[in-house]
Amino acid sequence: MSETTLLKVENVAKSFHTPEGQTRHVLQDVNFELKEGEFVAVLGKSGSGKSTFLRILAGLIKPSNGTVFYKDNPVVEPVKGIAMVFQNFALLPWLSVLENVELGLEAQGMNSSLRRQKALQAIDMVGLDGFESAYPKELSGGMRQRVGFARALVVEPELLVMDEPFSALDILTAENLRNDLMELWQEQRIRTKSILCVTHDIEEAILMANRIVIFSSDPGRIHTSLNVDLPFPRIPQSEVFHSLVDKIYTVMTTSERDRLALTKAAAHRQKTDVKHPEYAYRLPDVSVSELTGLLEAMQWHLKEGRIDLPALADELHLAVDNLFPLTEALDMLRFAKISKGEVKCLGAGKELAEGDILERKHLFAKHLLEHIPLARHIREVLDLKPNHRVNEEQFLEELQEFLTEDESERLLKIIIDWSRYAEIFAYDYDTGVLSLENPQ
């Protein structure tokens, strides 16, 4: 591995401004360096800004702060030398496989016969020989992504960036395609010097990368960078592999716990500050049935009241970005407790899992009112009103003083969803009114 730096990211931050003057930080203080010969996997749960990070590297999005350098030149627009593979392939349905692959060469102004020759070689390389004249809609998902790879490789990029390239494929297809890509990469049959791949699959990251960068969320930043020195081929069943998976889970849960603790501390600190009430904090976007479903499943995986997260995720086929919001919600509601790489199911959690419908609702309502300030706040306001009716607009306005419009709407939607289940209050979709009465 040479030590030449291909890409360098300095103090990059990205935030969005809302019309209300709120700022949402997606990325903060990101420093990163990519050397020639490296295969870096970027891990993080959804909302950690990892896709934004990738797009900033590729020159598709401009950072609000900081600079990306590609071979010492600042990146302000897509640069030649970086090609991208998309999650949903981004193939043009009216172009044949061959024409899709030729697209990037056409943009370079290459003449048609040379273009064709190069495109055919690329198609050959990804194993799509014989499908040159097919249209994307005739192909299966895996084959479509092969076209995506061919289109990226044909421009002979020095850096290949991939945005969850296998997540739209089923497990077997993904594995097959991944192996083929690794073969091309390791046998150096492609000119690509470095690869950067965003993923939410821990195993996938370990299978491919020399280095794994783990993002934490709100705002997204690089939490840990981890070198993976296992020899290829890497075997998921092996002991070393397992312990690495466990280690990453621990890092990711710790990062979550740190963040939760931070949020809580911030909430506590600002309780005295009238400007920022404790209810204006985001909640994980999960449904009640998912929560109870997870609690039920946990009962089968109990080991002295603790659950091994990797095992559970594996069993339920949940990727990290689906699992973590759930465990986070359970933690907030005090049905479970997150600690290093593990989740501890609390008594109330067990009770909820084993209760019947009414008992569940009752218990959920109790925890919701006790531990989620926003639910308590709304209930109190409704109790105080003589007719016990308030339009959602009022709460949205309250929240928008502290959160962006999108955040506020999302937060209110989650709390309405949970509270309707718990029968803490009712909601009428047509009028947008929250009330204490039963629907007519």
Partner 1 sequence: MLRNHYKLPHIEKRLLPNIWDGLVLMIVMAVIASLAWGAMDMDVPYQFGTVISISLDPSHLPGYAVSTVIRMLLALMVSFIFTLTISTLAAKSDAAAKIILPALDILQSIPILGLLSITVVGFIALFPDSRLGPECAAIFAIFTSQVWNMAFSFYQSLRSIPKEWQEAAAIYHLSPWQRFWHIEVPFATPGLLWNTMVSMSAGWFYVVASEAISVANTTITLPGIGSYISKAIWQGDSKAIGYAIFAMFLVILIYDQLLFRPLLKWAETFKPDTLEGETSTPSWFYDLLTKTRLFKYLSVIYQPLIEFFINPPRFTRTKPAYKTSLPSPKLARWGRYAFNTLTALSLLWAMKVLCDFMIAEITMDEAFWVLWLGLITGVKVMVLIVLASLVWVPLGVYIGMRPNAAQICQPIAQFLAAFPANLLYPLVVILIVKYHLNINIWTMPLMILGTQWYILFNVIAGTSALPQELHLAIQNFGVSGWLKWKRLILPAIFPYYVTGAMTAAGGAWNASIVAEVVEWDGQRLTAQGLGRYITEFSDQGDFPRIALGITVMCIYVLVLNHVLWRKLYRIAENRFTLE
Least CB distance to partner 1 at residue 49 (A): 17
CA-based nearest residue to 247, from 310, 201, 200, 306: 310
Residue nearer to partner 1 on the CB measure, 106 or 354: 106
Buried b (16+ CB within 10 A) or exposed e, 55-74: bbbbbebebbebebebeeee
Question: What are the backbone dihedrals phi and psi of residue 199, each rounded to the nearest 5 degrees, phi first?
Answer: -150, 165
Residues that bind partner 1 (CB under 8 A): 55, 58-60, 70, 73-74, 76-84, 86-90, 92-95, 98, 103-104, 106-109, 112-113, 116-117, 120, 124, 129, 132-133, 135, 137, 151, 155, 430
Residue nearer to partner 1 on the CB measure, 58 or 368: 58
Least CB distance to partner 1 at residue 43 (A): 22
Locate all alpha helices (DSSP H) within 44-111, ordered by sequence: 50-58, 97-107
Least CB distance to partner 1 at residue 161 (A): 9
Torsion (CA) 406, 408, 412, 418 in degrees, nearest 10: 80
Least CB distance to partner 1 at residue 107 (A): 5
Least CB distance to partner 1 at residue 88 (A): 6
Least CB distance to partner 1 at residue 418 (A): 22
CA-based nearest residue to 284, from 225, 336, 230: 336
Residue nearer to partner 1 on the CB measure, 94 or 232: 94
Cα angle for residues 260, 262, 268 (degrees, 5° grid): 105
Residue nearer to partner 1 on the CB measure, 82 or 352: 82
Question: What are the backbone dihedrals phi and psi of residue 158, each rounded to the nearest 5 degrees, phi first?
Answer: -80, -30
Residue nearer to partner 1 on the CB measure, 113 or 272: 113
Question: What are the backbone dihedrals phi and psi of residue 290, each rounded to the nearest 5 degrees, phi first?
Answer: -65, -40
Least CB distance to partner 1 at residue 78 (A): 5
Helix axes 141-153, 97-107, angle to 10 degrees: 20
Residue nearer to partner 1 on the CB measure, 49 or 349: 49
Q: Are 51 and 199 in contact (CB under 8 A)?
A: no
Least CB distance to partner 1 at residue 385 (A): 26
Return the bridge partners of 336, or none: 345
Residue nearer to partner 1 on the CB measure, 84 or 226: 84
Cα angle for residues 138, 144, 149 (degrees, 5° grid): 150
Residue nearer to partner 1 on the CB measure, 74 or 236: 74
Least CB distance to partner 1 at residue 210 (A): 24
Would you list the DSSP string of 250-273? HHHHHHHHHHHHHHHHHHHHHHSS
Looking at residue 220, the DSSP 8-state letter turns out to be B
Least CB distance to partner 1 at residue 28 (A): 23
Sequence length of the chain is 440
d(Cα 136, Cα 219) in Å, to the nearest integer?
38
Locate all alpha helices (DSSP H) within 140-286, ordered by sequence: 141-153, 171-186, 202-208, 239-271
Residue nearer to partner 1 on the CB measure, 80 or 269: 80
Least CB distance to partner 1 at residue 103 (A): 6
CA-based nearest residue to 281, from 295, 271, 292: 271
As a whole number of Å, the end-to-end CA separation of the chain is 70
Residue nearer to partner 1 on the CB measure, 152 or 212: 152
